[in-house]
Amino acid sequence: MATKAGKAAKQVRDAEATRTAILDAAEAEFAQYGLNAAKTEEIAAKTGVTKAMIYYYFKSKEDLYVAVLERIFFGRYMDSIQPEELEQLSPEEALEKLIRRQIATDFHHPHLNPIQIHEALQNQGKYYKHVLSSDRAQQAFGIVTRILERGVAEGCFRKLHPQHTVMNIMGACNFYFTAYENMKYLWQGAPLLSPETVEQHTQEVVDLILAGVRNQNNR
């Protein structure tokens, strides 16, 4: 929709659209397999183009992978979480909103977490370094950490370690999605990924974490 496209989508050839389609297919492939086990042939097949197209738009599989990483982090993650907005709220309100947004993001962008995890496990974060070291990322996580620091300072949260707590909250939010495919064998019956159970998961995490950080002596 950015370029000149009279009727859009009706074009047979559309560089922008093809590039995006490749990124979309690559995102799905990398989410399932990570950089190493992902197959360019498979990405091309999912896109509906020839493998050569990948190398027309991207230098290499590695280059495509980095493009996917950057797009999903800056495009999807940061936009969904909106850390800046949380600064206006009280620590409790901000924390609850953060949790709800985090889980909603996991649910609506199911590739985000798998890609990050594969990157950590397979490549030790090598390709993620420049993303997470960027000013935008540092600032965003600074804001998140400061929500907890503010809570402690204001006395509504108990004395806790902000960075550890941020990680533990992320763990509680994410594990449900990460481990779903294994967990389904443990507690059968329940359809673990239905909107209803995700809503229940959200409420459980909110209750657990807010009770977990609240200062009992205060009030």
- Contacts with DNA by CB under 7 A lie at 4, 11-15, 18, 38-41, 48-53, 55-56, 60-62
112 within 8 A of 72, measured Cβ to Cβ: yes
Nearer to a copy of itself, 20 or 134 (CB): 134
- In one letter, which amino acid is 129? K
Burial class, 160, CB count within 10 angstroms (exposed 0-12 / middle 13-18 / buried 19+) = middle
∠ Cα 78 149 200 (to 5°): 55
Nearer to DNA, 62 or 87 (CB): 62
Q: Which of 75, 87, 108, 129 binds a copy of itself (CB under 8 A)?
A: 129
Q: Which of 84, 155, 179, 194 binds a copy of itself (CB under 8 A)?
A: 179
Beta bridge partners of 157: 214
Instruction: Pick one of a copy of itself, DNA, none as the site partner of residue 121 (Cβ within 5 to 8 A by kind).
Output: a copy of itself
Instruction: Pick one of DNA, a copy of itself, none as the site partner of residue 13 (Cβ within 5 to 8 A by kind).
Output: DNA
Task: Give the x-and-dash track for 19-38 against a copy of itself (CB under 8 A).
Answer: ------------xxxx-xx-
**Six token digits for residue 164:** 């550890």
177 within 8 A of 106, measured Cβ to Cβ: yes
155 binds a copy of itself (CB under 8 A): no
Q: How far is the CB of 12 from DNA (least distance, A)?
A: 4
Instruction: Pick one of DNA, a copy of itself, none as the site partner of residue 209 (Cβ within 5 to 8 A by kind).
Output: a copy of itself
Instruction: Pick one of a copy of itself, DNA, none as the site partner of residue 205 (Cβ within 5 to 8 A by kind).
Output: a copy of itself
Backbone phi, psi, residue 214, to 5°: -60, 145
Nearer to DNA, 44 or 72 (CB): 44
What is the rounded distance in angstroms from the CA atom of residue 74 to the CA atom of residue 157?
Answer: 30
What is the rounded distance in angstroms from the CA atom of residue 111 to the CA atom of residue 109?
Answer: 6
Burial class, 215, CB count within 10 angstroms (exposed 0-12 / middle 13-18 / buried 19+) = middle
Q: Which of 109, 163, 117 is nearest to 141 (CA)?
A: 163
Chain residues in the site for a copy of itself (CB under 8 A): 31-34, 36-37, 114, 116-125, 128-129, 132-133, 137-138, 141, 158, 160-161, 163-165, 167-176, 178-187, 190, 200-201, 204-205, 207-209, 211-214, 216
